[in-house]
Structure 1
Amino acid sequence: MEFQHELIIPNEGFPFKLFLFEGRNGNYVREKHWHTSIEIFAVMEGSLYFYIDEKEYPLKAGEFLIINSNEVHSIQAPVRNETIVLQIPLKQFSDYFTAQRFIRFRSRNEESEETDRRMVSLIREMYRVYVSGETGYEFRIRAVFYEILYLMVSAYRETEVEENALKISRRLDALSKITTYMREHYKEDLRLSGLAAMFGYSDAYLSRMFRKYARVNFKTYLQDIRMAYAYKELLNTDHTISSIALDNGFASSRAFSREFVKRYGILPGRVERQNYKNVKKVL
C-alpha cells in the first residue's frame, strides 16, 4: 500500500491539535496518508483539492471537509490559501461509535446549509481564541470545541455504514491500537517482542504490519514518537537537554542529540526556545 501513517500529537493542554495548514503558500502536495484522529479542514481563503479513495473533493473559501479515522487521503494546494486544521483524537467520540472503535462523519448537512456555515464559523472562532491568548481563553476554546463535537455527532454522524468501509477501517485499526499504546507508553522500555505478545502477534507479523501500513519499521516509529514529544518539550520548557532526553525515553542526552541532528540538522542546544502559542496570527 503506497501511503503513510501520520503521527498526531494534541496541542499542549488540550484534547485536540489546531493549526494553520502547512500548504498555505500554494504549490504544495501532501501524498497519501492516514491517521486515527478525525481531521477537519476549514478553508478561509483560497482553495484546496482532496482525494479520498481516488475521488476528488474540491474546497473553496467558506467550506470544510471532515476526514474520517483511517481514511486514506491526499491533498493538493495549487494556490495560496488560509486553512484551519482541527485534528480530534478518536477517543473523543467513544460514546458514539457505530461499531467497535468505528465512527464515520459526512461533510455536509443536506438539511441545513446554516449548520455548515455554523461549523466553519466555530472553527474560525476556535482558532481566533487560540491565538489571542486572552484571559480565560482556555475555557472559551474548550466551550467552542465541545460545540463542534456536538454538531459532529448530532448533524454529521453517519449511523448506517457499508460493510466494506468497516473492513478497511478494521484493517488499519489493528495497527492503530498498537500505535496508540505506544504513544501512551513511549517513555517506557518498549520492545517489538513485548508489544507483539501483548497484542497476540508474532514478532515477524507485527514487524510486517509496521512496514506495510506505517511504511517504517517499529524502531523508527517509536523514535518518531519520542522525538515529537521531546521537541515539543524543548520548545516549551527550560528543562536541560539531559532531562528532556531521559524524560522522553532516550537512553542518554548523547543518543537524543545524535537523533536530533539526524532529523533537524542542528544540535538541540541551538534551537531557539519559544512559547508554544506563538503561532502566526491571521483571520
Structure 2
Amino acid sequence: MSRTIYESVQMDNNLPMRILHFSHEKALVSPGGNTYHFDTATLQFVPPHWHRSIELTYVVNGTLQVRQSEQEQTYQDDSFFIINSGDIHELSSVPTDNFELICFIISYDFIQQFIPNIEKIRFDMATTQETAAELSGLFYDILTLYNENQEFGHLKIQARLIEILYLLCQYHQVENHLPASRKYLRSQQLNKQILEYIHVHYMENLTLERLAKTFNFSREHFSRLFKETFGKTFLVYLNDYRLYCAFPEIVNSRKTIEAISIAHGFPSSKALIKQFKEVYHETPMQFRKNRKVSILDHNDDKKR
C-alpha cells in the first residue's frame, strides 16, 4: 500500500466536499456504500500529508492531536480547527467511548469560485469563539441533509457550505504570516519531496545516509533538519509510517508477520512486533485474534 505525501481527495457525489463523521454510536458510510465502525481499541493515526482542499474539523467529543508545520496542538470537546490548503499535517486521536468528530474536506476549486484570491488567504479558528454556535449548527445541518439523501438536497448542503465560507472570511481570516520568499517556498517544496521520497521507498532498506545524500545534505545536518521540521527523528518517522502501511495486512489478512515485515521494509519480524507492541500494547497476532477492524481511507473506498 504505497502512498505519496499528496492526497487527491475524493469528493462525495454531487458535492464539492467530502463529509466524514466518526462516532462510537454510528458507523460511517462511504460514497461507495462501505461502512466503517469506530474502533475505540485502536489508536487512530494519519501520517503527514497535504492536499489542495481545505479541511475544517469539528471535534464534538474526545481528543485529537494535530501537528502542522512545527507545532502540535490538542483539540478537545466542542472545538474547531482548520487545515489550510497545502499545509502538511499529521493527526492522531486518543480512543474514548464518546469520541465524535465531523470533518468537511472542501474542494479548493469550489472555494476559489467565491474567493478568487484564496491562495493568498489563511484561516485560523482561534481568532474568535463567537462563531462556534453558528458553525456547530451548520455542521449538523449539513450532516442531517447528507444522511437524508433527498433529491436536490445537495443544493441545500452547498448553501450551508457557502454560509460557512462567509463565517471563515468574516471572522477567521488572518494575515498570511508565511514568508513569500523563494527560500521559504523552496523549503516547503523540499519538505514535501522528502516525505514523498520516504513514502515511495519505505519498503526498501532506506537509511538516513541515503536520504541525506539524495537531497544533498550532510548526514548530521539532515538529521537535525528532519527532527526540527517533522517533530520526530527520521527513524521514528520511518518506522511509524511502515507500521501505518502494514497495519491493514496485520489485522485483516492471513499473511504471516514475517511476510508482512519483509513487504513493508522492516529489518525483521521482531522489529515489526516490537513497533506494533509499542503502539497497540499487544503482539500483531494477539491483535488480529482479538479484534475485527474496518479501516477507512478517505481517498480509497475499496480498501478495508
TM-score range, shorter chain: 0.5 to 0.7
**Whole-Å Cα distance in 2 between the matches of residues 169 and 88 of structure 1?**
26
The aligned counterpart of 1:4 is none
Q: How does 1:118-129 map to 2 (within 5 A)?
A: 118-122=138-142
Residue 9 to residue 64, structure 1, CA distance change in 2 (3 Å): same
Q: What is the alpha-carbon distance in structure 1 between the residues aligned to residue 250 and residue 63 of structure 2?
A: 34
Task: Specify the SS of the correspondent of 2:56.
Answer: strand
- Equivalent of residue 214 in structure 1, options 212, 218, 230: 230
Pairing 1:131-280 to 2, within 5 Å after superposition: 162-164=176-178, 166=180, 170=185, 174-271=190-287, 272-276=290-294
CA distance in 2, matches of 1:21, 1:105: 26
SS at structure 1 position matched to 2:211:
helix
Identity %: 23
Q: 1:86 corresponds to which letter in structure 2?
A: C
Residue 301 of structure 2 aligns with which residue?
none
Structure 1 residues 81 and 241, CA, compared in 2 at 3 Å: closer, same or farther?
A: closer
Contact residue 119 and residue 151 of structure 1 kept, 8 A: no
Matching residue of 1:86: 103
Unaligned runs of 5+ in 2: 13-17, 25-46, 128-132, 297-304
Q: What amino acid is aligned across from residue 67 of structure 1 in structure 2?
A: I
Task: Report the alpha carbon displacement of residue 39 of structure 1 after superposing the two structures with TM.
Answer: 4.2
Alpha carbon RMSD of aligned pairs, Å? Answer: 5.7
Cα offsets for 1:168-194 (capped at 9, x unmatched): 975566434312332233223322233
Unmatched 5+ stretches in structure 1 = 1-7, 23-33, 130-136, 138-142, 279-283
Matching residue of 1:29: none
Distance 1:265 1:205, change over 3 A: same
The 1:257/1:65 distance shift into structure 2, 3 A limit, reads: closer
Task: Give SS of 1:266's match.
Answer: coil
The answer as to whether partners of 1:98 and 1:159 remain within 8 angstroms in 2 is no
Deviations 1:155-174 (A, max 9, x none): 66899963545579755664
Would the aligned equivalents of 2:22 and 2:101 in 1 still touch at CA under 8 Å?
yes
Going from structure 1 to structure 2, the CA distance change for 1:204 and 1:153 (only over 3 Å counts) comes to: farther
Size of the aligned set, in residue pairs, is: 228
Residue 14 of structure 1 deviates from its aligned partner by 9.3
Question: Residue 197 of structure 1: CA displacement?
Answer: 3.1
Larger CA deviation: 253-262 vs 155-164: 155-164
- C-alpha deviation, 1:226, in angstroms: 0.3
User: Deviation at 1:200?
Assistant: 3.4
> In the alignment, does 2:87 pair up with 1:67?
no
Question: 1:216, 1:163 → 2: CA distance?
Answer: 25
Change in CA separation of 1:106 and 1:159 when aligned onto 2, cut-off 3 Å: closer
Q: Which residue of 2 aligns with 1:27?
A: none
For residue 44 of structure 1, report the CA deviation from its aligned partner. Answer: 4.4
TM-score normalised by the chain length of structure 1: 0.53
2:56 to 27, 40, 47: 40
Deviations 1:79-131 (A, max 9, x none): x9754153869xx75997966xx9744659xxxx98985455435777x69xx
Matched residue, 1:25: none
| Deviation at residue 229 of structure 1 after TM alignment | 1.8
Q: TM-score, normalised by structure 2?
A: 0.50
